[in-house]
């Protein structure tokens, strides 16, 4: 079960003027199971995207990047059940063929279609099944299909992930709605498994790019379930301009900053949802590292803790074996770390101070924190003013079971 993560409600997900979504079943894994999403973007919509840094990036990532450079996207085609990664030239041709199938019905060029896939790596994409289902996706294109779309892109997710917010900017109501999928193979180097955020705001391209880059840095790029960066990570931010607000041309303007705050909030909620629904997760863990020389070394310490199987299994067992956290800090590779200035906390319980066991600590206090479903681990390095945060979860028996049986 996800950790304190409610199911999104259909009524809470707001339509974004200029965006329509269609759902279909291609039978990629199961017959009569929705596994294909088509997003139609009104003419004039601008997009910004970030993609996986995995060298073995999936075929759809390669094609999406290429198409986005060539033309303004008008359609996004997303399939679940098959990642089309590690599939070589055949995979590239498969993605192109799917784009052509959409283009032929929409009477547009194929390079205005961006393909996305998620699922099993190393298996050829069932192109004929997808092409056969594309007309069905066109048939039910509607503006209020976010709820169904969020469910359709799920793989090992147990809960759909989608959020909407509105904000008043210069007298106009601006809507932002986003959805994401991800549960395992989560350690992004750019975004997350798949995420799509749309707004009806009028935004200049460079401003949209900055909004996405900064929002991603504070959300999807601060989460990890298992330290595995996917081959398919993609995050797309779309702005249709249908709200008819004055065009945002400066990122530093009040209007652009207001939009950025809403987009960042949505992305952080979606990122947290991925961790709360991490494969087999029973705990949501925030790792704060403070007093570093720079943010990079703070993240280095935080990720070392977050990726430690010993720390993660202790969290699952609710075992206040804080020595595992201390060991992770010590092996994080921080140059000339002065242990006498280092402190470690479980929530507000100090476990290490000045590099030694805290005199105020007791096993009872540590156990009380570890029994909680949501825990904050704080590390103070005592060497500067920088700080950063990472969100992760525990490792349970179910994580092993889910991934051992992934293809069965």
Catalytic residue among 152, 155, 177, 192: 192
Helices (H), 170-283: 205-217, 254-276
- Non-local CB neighbours of 192 within 8 Å, separated by 6+ positions: 180, 182, 186, 220, 223, 233, 235, 270, 271, 274
Say how far apart CA 356 and CA 373 lie, in whole Å: 27
Catalytic (active site) residue 192: yes
Which one, of 140, 143, 219, 214, lies nearest residue 182 by Cα? 219
Q: Report helix angle 323-330 to 295-306, nearest 10.
A: 140
Contact 311, 305 (CB under 8 A): yes
Half-sphere exposure of 190 (CA within 13 A, CB side): 19
Secondary structure element (H or E) that encloses residue 339, with its range: none
- Do 196 and 239 touch, CB atoms closer than 8 A? no
Sheet containing strand 356-357, edge to edge, reads 356-357, 349-353, 343-346, 374-380, 284-292, 386-393
Residue 61, CB-side half-sphere exposure with 13 Å CA sphere: 27
How would you list the strands of the sheet with 172-181, edge to edge? Answer: 46-51, 234-239, 194-199, 172-181, 161-169
Q: Provide the 8-state DSSP code for 248.
A: B
DSSP 13-34: S---TTEEEEEE---SSSTT--
Cα–Cα distance list, 341 to 355, 382, 390 (Å): 7, 5, 22
CA distance 83 to 62: 13
Judging by beta carbons within 10 Å of its beta carbon (0-12, 13-18, 19+), is residue 69 exposed, middle or buried?
exposed
Residues 6+ apart with CB under 8 A from 305: 287, 311, 325, 328, 329, 332, 377, 379
> 201, exposed or middle or buried, with CB in 10 Å at 0-12, 13-18, 19+?
buried
- What residues are annotated to the active site? 192
């Amino acid at each position: 079960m996800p950790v304190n993560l409610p199911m999104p409600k259909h009524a809470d997900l707001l339509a974004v003027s200029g965006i329509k979504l269609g759902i279909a079943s291609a039978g990629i894994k199961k017959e009569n199971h929705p596994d294909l999403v088509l997003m139609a973007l009104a003419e004039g919509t601008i997009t910004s995207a970030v993609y996986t840094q995995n060298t073995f990036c999936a075929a759809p990532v390669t094609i999406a990047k290429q198409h986005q450079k060539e033309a303004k996207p008008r359609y996004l085609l997303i399939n679940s059940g098959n990642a089309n990664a590690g599939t070589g030239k055949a995979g590239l041709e498969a993605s192109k063929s799917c784009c052509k199938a959409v283009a032929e019905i929409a009477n547009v060029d194929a390079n205005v279609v961006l393909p996305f896939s998620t699922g099993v790596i190393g298996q050829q994409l069932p192109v004929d099944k997808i092409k056969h289902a594309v007309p069905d996706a066109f048939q039910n294109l509607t503006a209020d299909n976010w709820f169904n779309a969020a469910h359709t892109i799920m793989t090992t997710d147990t809960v759909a992930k989608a959020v909407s917010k509105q904000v008043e900017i210069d007298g106009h109501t601006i809507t932002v709605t986003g959805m994401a999928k991800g549960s395992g193979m989560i350690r992004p180097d750019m975004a997350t498994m798949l995420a799509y955020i749309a707004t009806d705001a009028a935004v200049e391209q460079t401003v949209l790019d900055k909004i996405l880059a900064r929002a991603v840095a504070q959300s999807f790029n601060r989460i990890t379930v298992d330290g595995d960066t996917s081959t398919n990570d993609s995050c797309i931010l779309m702005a249709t301009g249908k709200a008819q607000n004055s065009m945002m041309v400066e990122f530093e303007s009040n209007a652009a900053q207001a939009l950025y705050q809403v987009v960042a909030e949505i992305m952080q909620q979606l990122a947290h949802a991925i961790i709360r629904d991490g494969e087999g997760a029973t705990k949501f863990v925030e790792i704060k590292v403070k007093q570093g020389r720079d943010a990079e070394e703070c993240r280095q310490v935080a990720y070392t803790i977050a990726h430690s199987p010993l720390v993660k299994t202790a969290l699952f067992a609710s075992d206040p074996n804080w020595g595992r956290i201390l060991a992770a800090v010590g092996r994080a590779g921080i140059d000339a770390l002065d242990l006498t200035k280092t402190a470690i906390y479980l929530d507000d319980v100090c476990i290490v101070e000045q590099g030694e066991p805290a005199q105020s600590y007791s096993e009872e206090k540590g156990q009380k924190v570890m029994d909680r479903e949501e825990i904050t681990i704080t590390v103070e390095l005592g060497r500067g003013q920088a700080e950063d945060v990472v969100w992760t979860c525990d490792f349970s028996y179910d994580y092993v079971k889910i991934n051992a049986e992934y293809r069965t």
